[in-house]
Amino acid sequence: MKIPESGDPYLEGHKCGSCGAMYLGARSVCSKCGARDQMQLTRLAKTGKLYAYSIVHRTFPGIEVPYISAVVDLDDGATLKGNLIGIDPDPAKIKFDMPVEVVFADALGRKDREGNSYLSFFFKPKA
């Protein structure tokens, strides 16, 4: 995740200059087309569709449950895992393929030792 001095934070990915495949982590060889050293840094899409989710009821102490762990296919082809917020953790309300957007917020109220909030990204149902 990148936080520019001005403007909105964004997620950064690596795009193959040869075939356009998207990757989150840095790599030098495209596993889709085999192109070498063609990776370009790019901003990831801010919208996508819910691919999979699970409702988490048990986790580490101090983290509020239940929450929704989701996998989202971004509109640019990258796949991202994160928490889904802004919707009840109720399977009857969560639809596969529903449109979501990437939002940035404090990471569940967690603070570091200096008391700074962690900024993290979440998925939120798109209105």
Q: Which residues bind Zn ion (CB under 5 A)?
A: 16, 18-19, 21, 30, 32-33, 35
The closest alpha carbon to 48, from 68, 70, 20, 27, belongs to 70
User: Residue 115 burial (CB < 10 Å; 0-12/13-18/19+)?
Assistant: exposed
Kindly tell me which of 47 and 79 has the beta carbon lying closer to Zn ion.
79
User: Can you read off the two tokens belonging to residue 90?
Assistant: 């109720």
30/68 with CB nearer Zn ion: 30
What is the smallest separation between the CB atom of 49 and Zn ion, expressed in angstroms?
Answer: 23
Least distance in Å: CB of 71 to Zn ion? 22
Q: Are 31 and 18 in contact (CB under 8 A)?
A: no
Q: Which amino acid is at 77?
A: G
Q: Which is nearer to Zn ion, 15 or 46 (CB)?
A: 15
Provide the minimum distance between the beta carbon of 110 and Zn ion in the complex, in angstroms, as a whole number.
37
Altogether, the residues listed in the chain come to a count of 127
Decide if 38 contacts 54 (C-beta within 8 A).
no
Least Å distance, CB 39 to Zn ion, is 9
With respect to Zn ion, which residue has the nearer C-beta, 33 or 41? 33
